[in-house]
Each structure stands twice: as structure tokens, then as C-alpha cells.
Amino acid sequence: MTWRKFNVSVLLCLLLALQGLAAPCDSNPCENNGECVVTSASEYSCICPSNFAGIHCNLPPPTVVCGEEFIEVSIDKRIVIEQGLADDTNNVYFKGTTGCNAEDRNGAYHLSVAARFGECGIQVEQRENSYMFKQQVVWNMISTSVERPTVLVDITCNYTRDYAVLAGPIIPTVNKVDFQTSYGVFTVQMELYRNQQFSEDAKFGRQLMIPIEQEVCVEQSLINVMPDHLVLSLLRCWASTVSDGTGDVHELISEKCASDPTALVMSNGQNDTARFCFTMFKWRESMNSVYLHCMVNVCNVTAYPEFCQCQSERKKRNAPMTSERQRRDSTMVSTGLIRIVPRGTVILADPGLNKGVLGTAESPLIPGSNPVDGGGSNSTVLIAVGVVLVTALIILGVVIAVYVSHRRTNMKKKQRKRGKLAEMVNRRRQLPVA
């Protein structure tokens, strides 16, 4: 009987011990259909569905908005606090950067980076038909000795290759806009060229740096299949200091006619492509950048030729100005940012070679400076290269001479040792045998 009581007591103790060692996920600590994963005998983590976050999947997830002007990130503070991390905006920032910290907005960390992605550590991956922008937001207690960043959110934004509002050194200088008119929905795109040939090799590249007095040719084209009587008409084109077309403004085309002395309209209101060229100018103030804009319209050239094309001065007096219907059916197409550089600046073709020419955090472009000069700097570089080569050859000659001298000395020493050894052997051979 005593033995049975002992066995029962042992079994009860074992059951209590096993109950105390129950798996941490048995109580289902993850809310909102989160999946509990055992990480150790007493620890767990929750894999949350996409619309929840936090240790127990009970908090709203971080939001990432890939906008035309900015990429914006918002993170609920409780996600940081419940992990035992300090609630400090200085500790929440874009990974690998300084000065790109969060700000406090209504109980959330808010971060924003301009869509000209040359800042805040944005990484760019070029694909066949798009660009992928990547970065991480981390919490990290900055220390002089150790850094252990905790990733709060991964950022991924995809933009098509035609997306030109970004217009930094990575995005091509092409803008495409879809717009609704009384004739239907149309797509128009803008491209910039170096000359009037409008060929592929004359296109401006990703680095929109244009010297003063450089010819700039603008092409606007409808990429839809168009009936012959519908044409593309440039109502107005202008340059501005602000991306939305405001600020200081310089008119290039007005009422479908050239208004800048250097502007040459090659085709406008004749078919599905409109073209004009002008000479790059400089603002009177110290501003060294410009955006280009055109107000475009799909026009019925058969029914309303006077509304589609530039009219002579006499016809202008008799013909009506741009109609209200045209203004309603028009849309604005823009491209930029264009950096205006001094005449004679050498712009290298390889983007990787343009560090020091493009304005970057490491080497900003100083307004009015000419980082790569067309004449004197090239000769200076050649002289410097020549001096380096001559110095290298002299050093190489000295090293070779020292090596040869050292080798000769060693050979002479070896020869003397061999001679002495041979002499000793000969002496021993000459000794009389006792």
C-alpha cells in the first residue's frame, strides 16, 4: 500500500512538472490569427498576418507610401516600446545614414525622403522595365563602440522606367502622362535631345546636365494609334525654377508659336509628334537648375486648323485665342530637374566617372564652378599621370638594382665558402696515412 501511494505521488509530481514545462505556444498568445513559433523551451515569437504587427499581432503594421513626390514611412511607437527599446526619434532612422531621423507624429514615428533618391541611403536596382528602390528603417542606440540596429521595416518601391517626376541622376529624362479629352484617352510622352536629328544617340541620358548655350530639342509624341485628323498641339511650353511649373518662369512657346528668340518650332499641330528646339539659358539670379513644362492638347486639324497650329500675326488678330474646350482637353507634361552648368564643361558619358561633376553628398556641385574643365584640367591630369609613371619607374629601377646587388653579394659569399671547403678537402687528402 505504501509503495502504491509512493507511485501515485511520483506520478502527480511528474504531471505537475510536465504541466509547468508546457510549450509556450500552448496558450496561443498570438492574436488576430497570428502563428506562434517556439524559439526555445520558454520563448516564442508571433508571425503576424500582413495587416497586423507587434509581439502579439495586436498593433497596426508600419505603412510605406511610394508617392510621386516622397516615400513616406509611418511606424506605431508601441512596436518599438514593447520590445524594450527607448522611445527616442533620434534612434529611429534610415539605415546607414545621418540626418535622416524620424519625427514624432500622433504617436508614430514618421520618416520621409524626397523622390529624388540621392539621399537617405536609398538603394536602386534597375530592372528591364522598372526601377526598384530599397531601404530599411532601423532602431539603433548610437554608440561609439557598438551598434546593434533593429530593423523596424523593409522599404521596397517600384517605379516604371517612364516615371520622370523623380528625375534624379538615375531616372531617365522621359515623362509619360495619360489624360482624358473629349476625343478619348491619350498618352503623351516627352523626351529631350541634343540636336535636331532627334536620333537615339542624341538623347540626353540620365544625367540631366546641360551647358549654357547648348541646343536642347524637345519632342512630345502621342504613343496611341491615332486617326490622321487628330494631332498633337503644344499650346504653351515654358521653363521654371519649381517642379510644378511655378516660381521664376521663362516662356518658350506661347499660343502655339515660339516666344523665345532662340526657339525654333519644327512641327506643331501637324501630326502625332510635336518638336521644337531652343538654346539653354541661365537665370539672372544664382539658380542653376530648371524644369521644362508643356501644355499639350489633342486637336482636330481637319475641323479646327486655326486652333491646332501657330498662326501668322495677321491671322492671329482675326483668329480666336486658345478655346476653353482646348484648355479643358489639355494636360501638362514636365521633365527635370536639369542642372545648368558653365559652357565648356566636359560631361563624361559613364555615370560612374561623373563623381565630382554631379552634385552628391560626397562632392556637391558648387554653383558657378566647373569641376571638369575642357582644356587646362585635361593637360594637368596628363602631367600628373606622367609624373606618377616616371616616379614609379624610378622606384622600380632602384628596387631591381638593390635586388641584383644583393643577389651578387650572396653568390660571391657562396663561392668563397665553396672554395674554402674544397681547400680543406684537398688538405685532408694530402695528409700522410699513419
Whether the predicted pLDDT of 325 surpasses 70:
no
Domain extents in the chain: 88-160, 174-353
110 by Cβ neighbours in 10 Å (0-12 / 13-18 / 19+) ranks as: middle
Higher pLDDT, 411 or 201: 201
More confident residue, 275 or 226: 275
pTM of whole model > 0.75? no
pLDDT tens by residue, 181-224: 777 788 888 889 999 999 988 888 665 778 888 899 999 998 87
Checking if the pLDDT of 275 tops 90, the result is: yes
130-154 burial by CB neighbour count: b if 16+ within 10 A, else e?
ebebebbbbbbeeeeeeeebeebbe
Q: What single-letter DSSP state applies at residue 384? A: H
pLDDT in tens, 138-177: 998 765 455 678 889 988 888 765 544 333 333 334 467 7
Question: Residues 112, 73: contact at Cβ < 8 Å?
Answer: yes
Q: What is the mean pLDDT of the chain?
A: 74
The whole-number pLDDT of residue 363 equals 29
Is pLDDT larger for residue 321 or for residue 234? 234
- Is the pLDDT higher at 203 or at 130? 203
Q: How far is CA 164 from the centre of its chain?
A: 12
Domain with residues 174-353, CATH architecture = Sandwich (2.60)
- Range scoring the smallest mean pLDDT among 16-25, 201-210, 360-369: 360-369
- Would you state the pLDDT for residue 362? 30
Neighbours of 384 (CB within 10 A): 10
